[in-house]
Chain A
């Protein structure tokens, strides 16, 4: 067939052209392959690595906090939590798995809603935390039932643990999840589950305690699922903070104060300023915060009139009452308005203008010199010398002894208190100063406000030879676990006559150790440990004239809120002071009957324990610290915390 042959020839020609075209296209493909895989290979290899390698931050373990003898106060505890991976629940589904788990570890409906919400929010392979801080028994039960609980797994993490719980809540503070405000761009803070210090030492030393993050180079797929780890660089664990606290003393003090409704106390080293114990009662358990507090517990905490969340030792402001009298006397002596032997007659009251200022002893004390006046806390004597010396001079002296300004303690939340002057009143109240107010200030009432910490600092400065010691809670911060004995810090001289200081000290010793002294019943019998001090009883209500005539109501007859505050400041040993203490019992009643016995117990415990000793710490670790537990000061008995207290209570 002619036509067909021609068609075949044409077809063959066209086919050759087509094949040529196809080959051209194929060489284009080959060229592209060459371009991508040879010319650009390096660039794409780099991109591929970036694609699959992701740098993950590793949270460093938070630094420990130890007491002055190395006992851990804040540590990291293995935290077992139960997690759910929704994609692994297989046929059960998330609900089914939760139902099964509920039989082993009960969950509240609220918790369940939270879990379901988080499951929905995350990709199906992301583990969602169901419950944290599982008991060992719960872990065991879940593990045993693991085959029936697909998608449920136990995960180990670290959580902050405070072995002494309530004892140190106010001092140590607590940690919790990073708030938006805190985020500074540090990627560590973006880590889920990362915690920062929110108050106390945890807050002050947060940066040191945090440490620095390590990193882990992991291979991930396009969904971010980790396939394997390629490289790991460990971070630096947080530094260890060694506190000045002696936790044994702290425990004893906490236990002692717990006998009262609301109280606070500070024990410090008069030379170094080391705060050995700082207690504010009632307290709370910071471990509860870690576990998550339910609404009821929280409401109980914030509605408690005794304010368990507040650290009253630094934030409670009280009139110092008679505890202020030493400073008034010292001012008068320094200014020469009265000689050490100069006397004032107390007939039970003093008339000033048309007001009658009463002494606490209705019948009066008779003739009083400065030592007697302090020992017996004669109010009239102090009305008189305060009137003579004036408020501004008293205030100037009080500031030199640490009142009216924050002491600079390394703890957030310290209140400055108030030391009034004429200028202050004009500025703050737009009123002129009345002389009667000077009289009130003379016995530590009126505008004067101090914190228990300030009272302790004042006492320390009165008895340490005239040095302006400042309190501190941090002994050292170490990244190696080695804490050496720091060199003694030299504090500046206050610049008062040491003879006058000796008179004040003598008077304070007499408060406790003479039959007429207001705190005579709280004397320490063991002469090695004898103490000095000053009581204070602060009225929190106005006593009307009518009431005074009918007889002042006894504290026991008043509602708690209207009872007097009981105060005591003290030091020991009496002849060579090392420890200063301040005790404030809110609405506790009389300083001599309530506060002085507490001071007695604390000073005795501190001396027996040798709380102020300095020991080097070579290695971190609880075992080492336990071996290094303080011995009795005389070396005659090992003062374990509880027995120490019992011993001294028996003695008192």
Chain B
């Protein structure tokens, strides 16, 4: 088949070579974004490193280590064990169903004794890997056949259904949309998306029946937050007030009245962007949005630059997940979509999402390092 060029495509790089290949500018961007988060957590605690900022810094450090480790692992290894990883995560999701610990009214956590594990977060990565592996091994003609879409749809549907049962609407939607993005990038015909879109709109009333009361409430409250200003609509109204009162230039670092006076709920987690917008105004909001866009563009660029479909799809899947975090969180705090409990990537306080994202970025980095590596259908290049 292809001409072996050992200089360009060695069976494996040395560690030094891989580190040299690391996309350090990208890492710098991530660190810059995380630093914004540290500053906001410092402010959320009223000008204190404790209790949030200090721990978040440690988490980011751990996350970076995880990211670099993931990046160094040969991409063919990821391909080889993609399904295993996926099935293992599905098993964990099933385990949550039976042994999960309730948190905020939903079963999401597995108590592993010393550390809590949230399989639905892990699933975001596992699904990207599994779909990338599937479409990597599918020819362009196969992709256009409906029959070949059955397996990947099941790959999405199974975890989505399990996550929805927890119930975690936000994550389920993220899984489905990420899957759809990979389908789209893999070349599935556009009319099929249109069709699914129409079916989805038609089926919405049926889906409504399956929603839990609190989920229905969230949607209803979203549509008219003022209807319940002290109850469920409180979050959205207070968030919008904090947002709007920030104006163009904001009230200044540590000066946000709404957040510091506790009118703003969960300001260190889901609503941290509101606090940023209150303190730094529209200018600050745009700046952060710009930073995220740069990360996104780099992610897309890395994907497009990759020579293998597996790497490309991983790249686009990871950036899609990242983008979804950003978009859903920001749209949520500004009252554009219902409150679904999605954190702001790299900034919100919390370890799980941070780890998921840095794991994902580790894969993206791996794609960059192994951008020119030939990858066979089942894994290592020499099996081609």
Contact = CB atoms under 8 A, between A and B. Distances in A.
| A pairs with B | yes
Interface of A: 1, 3-4, 6-8, 10-12, 14-15, 17-19, 22-23, 25-26, 28-30, 32-34, 36-38, 40-41, 43-45, 47-48, 51-52, 219-223, 227
A32 B187 contact: no
14 contacts: A7-B187, A14-B185, A18-B185, A19-B297, A29-B334, A30-B289, A32-B336, A36-B244, A37-B277, A40-B244, A45-B244, A48-B244, A51-B238, A51-B257
A16 to B, nearest CB: 9
A38 to B, nearest CB: 6
Contacts of A18: 181, 184-185, 300, 316, 320
Interface residues of B, number: 51
B263 interface: yes
**5 smallest A-B Cβ distances: which pairs?**
A44-B244, A48-B245, A221-B261, A37-B282, A222-B262
B378 interface: no
Given A12-B304, A36-B240, A22 B282 contact: no
Given A11-B312, A36-B240, A40-B244, A222 B139 contact: no
B263 A222 contact: yes
Contact of A37 (B1, B248, B336): B248
Contacts of B285: 33, 37
A37 B246 contact: yes
Contact of B244 (A3, A37, A222): A37
B86 interface: no
A4 B334 contact: no
Contacts of B238: 51, 222
B303 interface: yes
Contacts of A11: 185-187, 303-304, 309, 312-313, 316
Contact of A51 (B2, B258, B300): B258
Given A11-B304, A48-B242, A227-B261, A30 B286 contact: yes
A25 B327 contact: yes
Contacts of B282: 33-34, 37-38
Contacts of B243: 33, 36-37, 44
Nearest to A46: B245
Nearest to B283: A37
Contact of A220 (B187, B245, B261, B330): B261
Nearest to B308: A4
Contacts of A45: 244-245, 247
Nearest to A29: B330
Given A1-B2, A12-B304, A22 B323 contact: yes
A36 B1 CA distance: 58
Q: Which of B245, B282, B289, B331 has the most CB of A within 10 A?
A: B245
A484 B316 CA distance: 92
A228 to B, nearest CB: 11
B140 A221 contact: no
Given A25-B327, A222-B262, A41 B185 contact: no
A10 B140 contact: yes
Interface of B: 1-2, 139-140, 181, 184-187, 238, 240-248, 257-258, 260-263, 277, 281-282, 285-286, 289, 293, 296-297, 300, 303-304, 307-309, 312-313, 316, 320, 323, 327, 330-331, 334-336
A227 B289 CA distance: 33
Contact residues of B: prevailing secondary structure: helix
Contacts of B320: 18
Given A22-B327, A221-B260, 5 more contacts: A6-B140, A18-B181, A18-B185, A51-B263, A219-B257
Contacts of B297: 19
A52 B185 contact: no
A40 B247 CA distance: 9
Nearest to A51: B263
Contacts of A223: 262
A219 B238 CA distance: 16
Given A36-B244, A41-B248, A45-B245, A4 B309 contact: yes
Nearest to B257: A52
Contacts of B258: 48, 51-52
Contacts of B263: 51-52, 221-222
Contacts of A33: 243, 277, 282, 285-286, 289, 334
Contacts of A51: 238, 241, 257-258, 261, 263
Nearest to B303: A15
A15 B277 contact: no
Contacts of B316: 11, 15, 18
Contacts of A22: 296, 323, 327
A35 B188 CA distance: 37
A220 B257 CA distance: 10
A221 B264 CA distance: 10
Given A45-B244, A45-B247, A222-B263, A14 B334 contact: no
Given A12-B304, A222-B262, A3 B240 contact: no
B184 A29 contact: no
A53 to B, nearest CB: 9
Contacts of B304: 11-12, 15
A26 B309 CA distance: 27
A26 B331 contact: no
Nearest to B242: A48
A48 B277 CA distance: 14
A219 B304 CA distance: 54
Q: Which of A19, A36, A220, A223 has the most CB of B within 10 A?
A: A36
Nearest to B315: A15
A123 to B, nearest CB: 12
Contact of B331 (A32, A34, A227): A32
A497 B38 CA distance: 100
Given A29-B331, A52-B261, A222-B263, A14 B187 contact: yes
